[in-house]
Structure 1
Amino acid sequence: MGVNSNTLLVIKLPDSRVLRILSRSVFLALVILTMPCIDSILRERPEYNNFGSDVLSNSQLLNLLFRDLAIEGLLRKGDKALILSPGIVNVRMVHNLNLQHLHLHNNVSYVVMDSGLEGQRLIPDETFDFVFTITSNFVDTKFVNRVVKIGGIVAIPLSNNNAPNGFRKQSNYRIVYLRSYNSTIMALRKVSPSNEELGSSTRRHLCQLESEAKKVMLKGLEDALLEPPRRTLLRSTKYLKKIKFLPELLGDTLESYKRRVFIGVGLAEENSALTEWFHQNYPKRNQDFEVYSLVVVPEEEEGSSRVAVHVDVSDWLMKNVKEEVYVVMKADAEVVEEMIKRSTICLVDELFLECKNQWWQGMERYNKSKRAYWECLALYGRLRDEGVAVHQWWG
């Protein structure tokens, strides 16, 4: 056919909307095809390297972290420290740390978690003041609980993938530090002995039970008096019979504990009478109790009912009380409030709470107390909520 200048050649192209749909479909198909490759690349990233890929950079970040922990008072000069690693690569990184400024270079131990099981068994209980884990994914929680001292610090990077075998916050730990570097670092203070088996015969600290379990266990305790009783009632055997002592409440023979301790916190002359009362009235189940007297003295300020303790009760408990010890204590409200602040109240199994208030009759020394009786009831209720077997003590 010849070309005629009067003839037009028309080529019809697809609608632009059709082209857009077609191009997007091709792009989506390419993405779907490349997904397995992307996933395999992500899976190859080492989980333990939470601080980045460069070893020198990691060491620098760890030095920065340890300096910050020292500034916060969580890592002190002379502390005995343990650094846990899931692999030999991280051990090399840790050896690049500069710990001389903390005087820790001679007090640091290293454990490779995937190959150091025998080494773990050789470490005595409560050996370390500070434990740091390179990762949260490979930590043996039971091992850490065993080797860190009460009052010691455990620092971990928070896991991004919630690994089931990572370190979990235990009920006997309190968060004291949370800061973000390449990873978020959390530090926890161990405030009481660990309780791994709730059903064992030595498992008695009610503070760590769930709230409903606490209510059931403490339901048998006598109710708090809504107003201070008369002295004649306190002297009667009828009032004494109302006290539901913990061994009777739980049906506990007290035989399973390696030690049983009674601690009186008060004036010297009061502690002497208190010890006599304890031996005459407490259901000791024919078991021997060690008796300790922590002496307090009244403050000299005019009109003050506060007391000053010769020893730090919380520190004393953390140094002298372990999981296998059964502890009964009598203490003043001010001492108990300080123990609550220090998170050491749960080291006590049974507490006799003395709360002096403006209704305190026949005690001229405390008549000027500023504490209202409802404040005493509030403290009593708080202790019950915490899971402490608490009784009101009237002297």
Structure 2
Amino acid sequence: MEPTTGKPSFLRNVLTRLLLFGVFIIVARFAYIITIAGESCNVGDFCFFSLPETLNFVIAGGGAGALAVESNDAVEVYVSKDWVRAVHFYSSVFQDLISDGYLSPESKSLCVETPTGHDVFALKEIGVSDSIGISKKASKPLVKAGLAHRMPFRNNTFDFIFSGEGGLEKSARSADFASEIARTLKPEGFVVFHIKATDTYSFHSFLDLFNNFKVVKWHDIDGFDSSMPSIREIVLRKEFDGIGHEFENFDDDSTGKCSSHGYKQELVKNAEPLIPEEPLKPWITLKRNIKNIKYLPSMVDISYKNKYVYVDVGARSYGSSIGSWFRKQYPKQNKTFHVYAIEADKTFHQEYGLKKGITLLPYAAWVKNETLTFEIHHDPGEHVEVKGRGMGRIQPLQSSSSDGFDGEVEKIQGFDFANWLKNTVSKNDFVVMKMDVEGTEFDLIPRLFETGAICLVDEIFLECHYNRWQRCCPGQRSPKYEKTYDQCLELFTTLRQSGVLVHQWW
């Protein structure tokens, strides 16, 4: 009997097919890395050979609009039409910059946050050969690994820096990003940004990051894809002497007037109107008015700020406003805010120790550092318990008198709130404040103006306390406060006239 050959033939066919399938996977992977991703190969990309780092770049002919990369080994790589369209767009942009004198073929150039390197490619294509890009992940030979907020270059290295595709506004460390550009750019060198800052507020926030630069040109252009259909192109020049940009700068002089408040006043005009007449039922009217509030982040882009801070002055418990309102309802544009809870009443201190992202200041916000009295009032019909605990009012020791006072009196430490604010935040930070301080707002707000600290606050939610009608006792006003509704209205009006976006709070 002759031996059968069926089983070896079957195994041979299976092995052949497996081998062909493996070759197909390798070729497909290589084609993806080169053709789709537009990157050179390396071992980590599951490739067995890589492109040479020295390439000659040409735009391929033909009507398809393909872009070719030629190496010294005659390897041609054609990339996607989207990548080609981006290269053509940036080539046009850079040619215009050359025509205007901001860029030259001799410029040592850097493109920041460019994962694909099409802007670097465009620079080389128009003759700016000494060009390199940086991104978190390298894409050789066009882009090397590097972070915008910690660039791997020496001081005064580049003549020209470009940041496209909204790189700065996407950065979580915009101030460090700007600082690194200032460090690595030569004096009198040019930096060009493509950003989305089309509203006046965000435009000035952007400019505040570059006080040692001068704005030489800005205009709006059409983008090349749906991610940025409209682009604001800004050209800045680094100054020798650190002169600020030609737009108005922040000024925290002793008068408290901010020289940049003009553009903020435009925002105030878009805010919800103040309630002109004293409401007969303030606990209803003011609560309803919250639905009409136009929050600042719903009107402008806040991406160009360094830090995001919420200061709750008179915070009481975590659930009073931080947990119940700010963290749930305030539009944050996906930014992470650090919260400062300022609360003198020790009853509420313990719960803050368990909350992340919150710094408790267990003192009373005041106009100077001194010991104060803390009076806990009990409204008629109010039950004395932690959640329903009466509101505390602070007074200087010399003016405090407990005679006839039906409530609790404690000694607490007050601190200079305006001075603390100036030492904690800067004009490059986005600062939201809620203030509910039982009448002390008539002391704190003037102090903020006096010191110029008011210029650091972007948005205020202020509860103003006056001798309002009481819910418990129809026809009777609260005996706790001496101010009138008209005085409160004057306080709100003064803030808005000064360019501070303030809202009537409850």
What band does the TM-score fall into relative to the shorter chain? 0.3 to 0.5
Q: What TM-score results when the alignment is normalised by the length of structure 2? A: 0.34
Q: What TM-score results when the alignment is normalised by the length of structure 1? A: 0.43
The structure richer in helix per residue is 1
